[in-house]
Amino acid sequence: MGFYIMLLSFILGIYLTIFSISRRKRKRSYMLLLVPGILLVIFAAYLARPH
């Protein structure tokens, strides 16, 4: 189950990050999507670490 959560958060985080960078001209939505995207990628990297 943790593997699927890691994959889902990694894919969703990359999607949100790329989507927000492509919409950079709108300052507010850019930051609202970039921060959760980066946090999801960091969370996926945390889940991928060996315990």
User: Cα–Cα distance between 34 and 43 in angstroms, integer?
Assistant: 14
Number of domains in the chain: 1
Counting every residue written for the chain, the total comes to 51
Handedness of CA 13, 16, 21, 27 (dihedral sign): negative
Quick check: 51 pLDDT over 80? no
The domain in which residue 16 lies consists of 2-48
Per-residue pLDDT, 30? 79
pLDDT-derived band at 26 (thresholds 50, 70, 90) equals: confident
Residues 6+ apart with CB under 8 A from 6: 44, 47, 48
Q: Check if the beta carbon of residue 19 is closer than 8 Å to that of residue 43.
A: no
pLDDT-derived band at 8 (thresholds 50, 70, 90) equals: very high
Question: What is the average pLDDT score of the chain?
Answer: 88
3-state secondary structure of 23: coil
